[in-house]
Structure 1
Amino acid sequence: MYQNKQKFSKFVLQFCLLLSVCVLVLSCGEEKKETYKKVATEKKKSVFASTDSIPDAHFLGDKTCKECHQNQFEKWQGSHHDKSMDVATKQTVLADFNGEVFKSQGVTNRFFQKNGNFYANTEGPDGKNHDYKIVYVFGVTPLQQYIVQFPNGHYQCLRTAWDSVKNKWFDLYPDFKVVHSEWLHWSRGGLNWNNMCADCHSTNVRKNYTQEDHSYDTKFALINVSCEACHGPGKQHVEDVKTQGGSYRNTGTMQMTLDTKPKELVDQCARCHMRREMLTDRFNFEGTMLDHYYPQLITEPTYYADGQILDEDYVYGSFVQSKMYHENVTCTNCHDAHTLERKFEGNKLCAQCHLPEKYDTEEHSFHKLGTEGALCINCHMPGRFYMGNDFRRDHSFRIPRPDLSVKYNTPNACVGCHKDKTDQWAADEIVKRKGAPKENHFSDLLVPGLSKTPEAYKPLLQLAKDASYPEIARASAIVELPNYRNQAIVRKQLLEFLNDPSPLVRASSTDALNDISDINNVSYLLPLLNDEKRAVRIKAFSALAILDEQQVPQNYKSVYNKVKKEYFIYLDGISDFTGGRINRANYTLKKGDLLGAIKHYESALAIDNLNNMARTNLANLYYQNKQYKKAEKAFKTIIEQEPEYGATYYSYGLLLAELQRTKDAIQQLELATKYMPDNERVYYNLSLLYSGIKDAKNAEKSILRGLKKLPKNENLLYLLAYHYANNGEKQKAKNIALQLVQLFPNNAQYFTFLQQLN
């Protein structure tokens, strides 16, 4: 969703890292009278799973589970799920609060006790230090975080955490300076529990956000990740046990049982173990993962271009890339469901499936047995540190491919350990010992497809059409295709993908068509309102925003209204995020309400004043609405905040050009070439501006500068040929036109142009 080069890119990199830095709010007051529809097997298959709440009274608590499930309870007790959150007491607080002082990024933090309570003195949202009472603890190892209560139901997590292994205070992001007015400051949105963490760290959470006053009334049934957080509310289960006696059978209310199929179990665990967007305002166990959440696809900066972890992905997005997932290996094959620990240590874990006499050998690993290098996980699951001291492994279980690192500048496990060696050395060693790699990897299609070259859509289409590749890789290729919307084959294929068996592919195709926004797509999108997955329905409704509601065919009116309700529940549920308010603005704009869109973009900036992607769009809307002063002020604000963000100079330059301030526009586009030198449109428009003031010399120079960066760029070559022809340099024009014919033989326009020159 977001892209930038300085603080805004850092915002992206940190965004979901913060999901596990979050806090948990506590509000167990009087429960509203909400109905709960029993989750039966038939209901799980229903097209329209409800968004009804489950009353807290249906969750009976872990002590009730213990009565029959003593062994499972004892395993769970003390686990990361059990310790996901707790009230701050002398028993639960692990850190030292005895007057310790910790300094980082110019902020002095002091931790102390007063009247039996724990306090931190640190920088607040006004930039001044204040005393803050610790109300909850978050997590247990390798770090523990501390939660502070703020007004309007907000709960915030301190940026300074306790290293429970080394027993010391540390800064979660020691190299990342955050100003108190920024969204990422601990007292603001980036470390807010209600929207960043609650859904996964407690049981039966309802966020209950009110946009009008930016307040929360968040509630939950149980403070931690209890038995019922995974298995579902226990009330019906207990009643069934009592009535059925010794002949108990699951009536469909229990989740994650021994009968749960492998991929379904991954789907259920994924709810909390993935980067995702929430599609409802609460989770109620109805439907499947794609009825409540939509996963982050393989995009930078969450992943490297080949799918390896870069930012924290929380496992799911990696695991579904793996062969293991596609061979029905599931979470509990490796992890104990209740302790969450690995079932075995060392290579014994992998030897459950992979014959040790074949794989647990020096011939296979190239390393002496018993050493770190001979451990399967160190070659096939390299990891990264997140949140300062938390080491997480990549669950894509990939074969080390240093040859791909040579081609694409992506990591590999070999050089990850042998830091004094090069990717080429590692690639040569693999060939010497194992021979040339024989297996294809989707990155051989995805990475070239991300290059934005004129032909890059071809590998993307090849990947997207091949069902032998992981669904998440296919979907990730599809969302890049709108960059090539001028290709008829791309548009045709996107429409065909709407009928793909994979709901993730259908959803990503709908997203892509939403970006293209063509009224001719309406008849293809309408049937998706009946899709079995809420993710697809919501995205289809968003793409259909270009359709006037009065024009909805009669046979679709009923389902259209049902999905409309789902869509606005989705928008309301994410309205405490800048991105949620931007989504509402874009929907409003498609409906033709320019003033409404401006209002929603202004609302987005009200909760994140440094979100300059939002400000860029707002500036353009101001311009459309002839609010030229506001538009110019917005662009100047972006430049002041992020002086190296080239896209702003480009957009600002175009605005000035429209206002006939050509020399000012040229100045901005010249700056754009400095900060975004690989963007063809900058050179293209800059050349046109120079031509407009009869400066042929600089017009030519602008194009040549662009071609130096992008030697075979079709648009720049054509503009150069036209420039030469228009300025009497016929032979130069012919040479360029001939080059165009040779590079793009299927474009008859270039052949005609060459003939005209001759």
Structure 2
Amino acid sequence: MKLNLTFTNINKLIVCFLIITSLSCQKEQKYEAVSNNGVFVPTSEIPDSHFLGVSKCEACHKEQFKDWQGSHHDKAMQLADSTSVLGGFNDEKFISQGVTSHFYKKEGGFYVNTEGPDGINHDYKIEYTFGVTPLQQYIVKFPDGHYQCLRTAWDTLKNKWFDLYPNFKVVHSEWLHWSRGGLNWNTMCSDCHSTNVRKNYDFNTHSYDTKYAIINVSCEACHGPGKQHVEDVKRLGNKYASTGTLHMTLNTAPKELVDQCARCHMRREQFSGAFNFEGTMLDHYFPQLIEDPQYYPDGQILDEDYVYGSFVQSKMYKNDVACNNCHNSHSLKLKFKGNALCTQCHVPEKFNAPKHHFHEMGTDGAQCINCHMPGKYYMGNDFRRDHSFRVPRPDLSLKYKTPNACAGCHKKDDEWAWEAFQKLFGTVDSIHFSDKLTPGITRQPNAHTGLLELINDKAQVEIARASAVKALSNYNPENFIDDYLTWLNDKSTLVRGATVDVLSDTNNKGYMNSFLPLLKDSKRSVRIKVFYGLSGLSETQVPDQYKGVYQKVKKEFFTHLNTNSDFVGGRIKRANYYLKQGNIEKGIEGYESALAIDNINNNARLTLANLYYQNKNYKKAEEAFKKVIIQEPEYGPTYYSLALLYAELDRTDGAIELLEKAVEKMPDNIRVYYNLSLLYDKKKDHKNAESSLVKGLKIDVNNESILYALAYHYSKYDQVEKAKNIVIRLVQLYPNNNQYVGFLKQLNSKG
């Protein structure tokens, strides 16, 4: 695995880490929910006393307990002791990326000496273990309630230390350093590795008071608090019948079961302050859609997606196959070995035969999963399979550089794979949603037609339709406003949520009136997205019939912000809310706050620099732009932005110098040549002014702004014939533009 910490993907990395945002609430309240005109409004957290522990469950459910014991859920998190710690702490050293980590024991405890947040080695005591196989991680305690996961982990199969990201150099000041946000247990891990977690993050002090009822993923992490269930059993005895107080039971419908597993097996953003088993998954979380860099453009796994986002793409999910059809719910192991798992449903004579897979029986090539569930290694040694269960498509690989199992397994190129596919199977005999989604995600010309067809095909899987809604924004969403307004009322929550996100980012505010009814949407994630989209609307502008629900959703929105405010992305969202409200001071404060927890985030710093510029704080703007250049000297747009600042301050020489550097860094950016020409002209350097425009024209011979600027330049300096030739081209390109027609008449009058 190799990551490159550049300006262009820092924000993607932040989004990547918005996957497990923990729960937050300061005081214990009654565990209940209320309804407001059909809108689910959950209250606060469940008291820890309602979780009774696995010993209570074992008393009546011995077989299930036996399966669970020793499972990944059981070993999700443990106190570090001689039984739980599997790693080599017998005075062992491990060196990676120039950092030496020394693992040793002292006074009955386990310790590591390694690089800390100041770049200096320190001794840290191991407080907890995380996981059991194929790797085990270790957690240490930091000040202010922060717990951090070491970057060095123990390979439990090969019995050796290894670096989770061996090809990725991270310096101590980066957010991704193990001692900072990227490997922070409180927000990145706790919600899914323990039971009834409350993150309890304090925004003002950047501190945590994280609590949980049970240290690992216990029975009650999935089935809900057992207090009421046990009381009912005691009260009713032999007359006991299910009272509906437990979750994930034998009566749970397949898709509902998948959604309940998804809470932890999904890349997602959190929208509730505390998960309390009320409502549905989409009242608490919203999944990552099929987008770069989390997925390949056809929907195959690229970065970690934690299974759900892949599985809901599949025909399996569509046909009511659930997680427990393949996995034992308690041991998590597969129910059957080899192809027997698949032939539960798929006729063996048809599919588990050479006439289907064209491989010798008993070989790896004859295994269903190797063709239909290829995988990748994550976290160094953890192989995870793609759960979208797709047919290999070498033809798409040739078009879009997506992977296919044929080439991957045989270690040959995509041309070979496609030729072999055609010889064995002929042409592709069914249309997959990726045939319409992939061209749109990769911005192919005219791909919007296929996206529209996909979105409007209600028979397609929701995540594909919602992802197409996002992909359509690549083709200027204002061209499809009427379509987007229609999708606000789509039956699919994912489609509604994606539509709200796209419209919220447009300059066309005509959607406001269409958003207001969605303040009463049945799913909290959509309501909160809608409130954010309405940020430009002052409370006095809210119609009377929506004022009550507006205030309720406002509370949900700020709970959402507070829950995610230990992420840079959460703080930026708060800042953008205030900017939409027209409060630039609060917006600046928000971006400064984001940089306080990630000082090398150049996305945030560049936005902040532009805000300083807009607020006429030119000194701070200049300082911010310069810091971005120092941290990422190859990123051309920063030179361009600072040059515009210098130009406004009449520092023309400095502006020209910066624009020349911008040309080096991004030679295809037309606006750089245009502005460089203006500055040279200002200095009466007519030769370089002309040269800059000519260079720009070589990149795009029909660029309107460059053509006009060059024509004006020639006209201004009495090169009438050159000017006329260019204006003639402009008139040919834009015959309905009266300005160009008039310009040509003016030039003709000069002879």
TM-score w.r.t. the length of structure 2 is 0.92
The reply on whether 1:120 has 2:115 as its aligned counterpart is no
Deviation at 1:66, TM superposition (A): 0.9
Deviation at 1:130, TM superposition (A): 1.2
Count of aligned pairs between the two proteins: 736
Equivalent in the alignment of 2:422: 431
Give the 5 Å matches for 1:493-512: 493-512=483-502
The whole-number CA distance in structure 1 between the counterparts of 2:486 and 2:600 is 39
The whole-number CA distance in structure 2 between the counterparts of 1:90 and 1:51 is 41
Equivalent in the alignment of 2:627: 637
Per the alignment, do residues 688 and 272 of structure 1 end up closer, same or farther by CA in structure 2, a change over 3 Å counting?
A: farther
Equivalent in the alignment of 1:745: none
The whole-number CA distance in structure 1 between the counterparts of 2:506 and 2:364 is 50
Give the 5 Å matches for 1:572-611: 572-611=562-601
Deviation at 1:440, TM superposition (A): 2.4
Equivalent in the alignment of 1:97: 89
Contact kept, 8 Å, 1:156 with 1:188, in 2: the verdict is yes
Tell me which of 628, 635, 654 is aligned to 1:664: 654
Deviation at 1:648, TM superposition (A): 2.0
The reply on whether 1:352 has 2:339 as its aligned counterpart is no
The reply on whether 1:552 has 2:542 as its aligned counterpart is yes
CA RMSD of aligned residues (A): 2.9
Tell me which of 560, 564, 569 is aligned to 1:570: 560
The whole-number CA distance in structure 2 between the counterparts of 1:225 and 1:80 is 8
SS of aligned partner of 2:103: strand
The whole-number CA distance in structure 1 between the counterparts of 2:60 and 2:727 is 85
Contact kept, 8 Å, 2:19 with 2:269, in 1: the verdict is no
Equivalent in the alignment of 2:748: none
In the alignment, structure 2 segments of 5+ residues that lack a partner are: 715-719, 746-751
- Residue identity (%): 61
The whole-number CA distance in structure 2 between the counterparts of 1:575 and 1:165 is 38
Tell me which of 435, 442, 447 is aligned to 2:433: 442
Contact kept, 8 Å, 2:124 with 2:140, in 1: the verdict is yes
Per the alignment, do residues 476 and 664 of structure 1 end up closer, same or farther by CA in structure 2, a change over 3 Å counting?
A: farther
Give the 5 Å matches for 1:39-188: 47-188=39-180
Per the alignment, do residues 692 and 623 of structure 1 end up closer, same or farther by CA in structure 2, a change over 3 Å counting?
A: same
Equivalent in the alignment of 2:331: 339
Contact kept, 8 Å, 2:339 with 2:352, in 1: the verdict is yes
Deviation at 1:415, TM superposition (A): 1.2
Tell me which of 214, 217, 230 is aligned to 2:209: 217
The whole-number CA distance in structure 1 between the counterparts of 2:634 and 2:373 is 36
The whole-number CA distance in structure 1 between the counterparts of 2:68 and 2:36 is 27
Give the 5 Å matches for 1:682-697: 682=672, 685-686=675-676
The whole-number CA distance in structure 1 between the counterparts of 2:661 and 2:5 is 15
Per the alignment, do residues 336 and 688 of structure 1 end up closer, same or farther by CA in structure 2, a change over 3 Å counting?
A: farther
Deviation at 1:428, TM superposition (A): 1.4
Equivalent in the alignment of 2:457: 466
SS of aligned partner of 1:102: strand
The whole-number CA distance in structure 2 between the counterparts of 1:341 and 1:501 is 35
The whole-number CA distance in structure 1 between the counterparts of 2:120 and 2:432 is 52
The whole-number CA distance in structure 2 between the counterparts of 1:440 and 1:710 is 37
Contact kept, 8 Å, 2:622 with 2:642, in 1: the verdict is yes
Equivalent in the alignment of 2:31: 36
Contact kept, 8 Å, 1:13 with 1:302, in 2: the verdict is no
Contact kept, 8 Å, 2:478 with 2:506, in 1: the verdict is no
Which amino acid in the other structure matches residue 335 of structure 1?
Answer: H
Contact kept, 8 Å, 2:198 with 2:210, in 1: the verdict is yes
Per the alignment, do residues 620 and 434 of structure 1 end up closer, same or farther by CA in structure 2, a change over 3 Å counting?
A: same
Which amino acid in the other structure matches residue 194 of structure 1?
Answer: N
SS of aligned partner of 2:126: strand
Give the 5 Å matches for 1:234-383: 234-383=226-375
Contact kept, 8 Å, 1:707 with 1:717, in 2: the verdict is no
Per the alignment, do residues 362 and 566 of structure 1 end up closer, same or farther by CA in structure 2, a change over 3 Å counting?
A: same
Per the alignment, do residues 550 and 68 of structure 1 end up closer, same or farther by CA in structure 2, a change over 3 Å counting?
A: same
Deviation at 1:453, TM superposition (A): 6.8
Per the alignment, do residues 427 and 129 of structure 1 end up closer, same or farther by CA in structure 2, a change over 3 Å counting?
A: same
SS of aligned partner of 1:479: helix
Which amino acid in the other structure matches residue 247 of structure 2?
Answer: Q
Q: Deviations over 1:231-279 (max 9, x none)?
A: 1111111122233333433333211111111111111111101111111
The whole-number CA distance in structure 1 between the counterparts of 2:673 and 2:239 is 76
Contact kept, 8 Å, 1:8 with 1:611, in 2: the verdict is no
Deviation at 1:755, TM superposition (A): 9.6
Q: Deviations over 1:502-536 (max 9, x none)?
A: 11111111111111154422111101100000011
Deviation at 1:657, TM superposition (A): 3.5
Per the alignment, do residues 722 and 187 of structure 1 end up closer, same or farther by CA in structure 2, a change over 3 Å counting?
A: closer
Equivalent in the alignment of 1:385: 377
Tell me which of 522, 525, 528 is aligned to 1:532: 522
Contact kept, 8 Å, 2:10 with 2:601, in 1: the verdict is no
Which amino acid in the other structure matches residue 339 of structure 1?
Answer: S
The whole-number CA distance in structure 1 between the counterparts of 2:84 and 2:700 is 59
SS of aligned partner of 1:48: strand
Deviation at 1:737, TM superposition (A): 4.9
Contact kept, 8 Å, 1:231 with 1:254, in 2: the verdict is yes
SS of aligned partner of 1:49: strand
The reply on whether 1:413 has 2:411 as its aligned counterpart is no
Give the 5 Å matches for 1:187-206: 187-206=179-198
Which amino acid in the other structure matches residue 275 of structure 1?
Answer: R
Q: Deviations over 1:531-568 (max 9, x none)?
A: 00001100100011100111111110100000000000
Per the alignment, do residues 337 and 679 of structure 1 end up closer, same or farther by CA in structure 2, a change over 3 Å counting?
A: farther
Deviation at 1:462, TM superposition (A): 3.8
Equivalent in the alignment of 1:744: none
Moved more, 657-666 or 66-75: 657-666
The whole-number CA distance in structure 1 between the counterparts of 2:684 and 2:433 is 49
The whole-number CA distance in structure 2 between the counterparts of 1:445 and 1:394 is 20
Contact kept, 8 Å, 2:291 with 2:441, in 1: the verdict is no
Deviation at 1:364, TM superposition (A): 1.8
Deviation at 1:49, TM superposition (A): 3.3
Equivalent in the alignment of 2:533: 543
Moved more, 690-699 or 582-591: 690-699
Which amino acid in the other structure matches residue 302 of structure 1?
Answer: Q
Deviation at 1:457, TM superposition (A): 4.4
Moved more, 11-20 or 335-344: 11-20
The whole-number CA distance in structure 2 between the counterparts of 1:418 and 1:87 is 44
TM-score w.r.t. the length of structure 1 is 0.91
Moved more, 584-593 or 676-685: 676-685
Contact kept, 8 Å, 2:198 with 2:274, in 1: the verdict is yes
In the alignment, structure 1 segments of 5+ residues that lack a partner are: 742-747
Which amino acid in the other structure matches residue 626 of structure 1?
Answer: K
Per the alignment, do residues 426 and 241 of structure 1 end up closer, same or farther by CA in structure 2, a change over 3 Å counting?
A: same
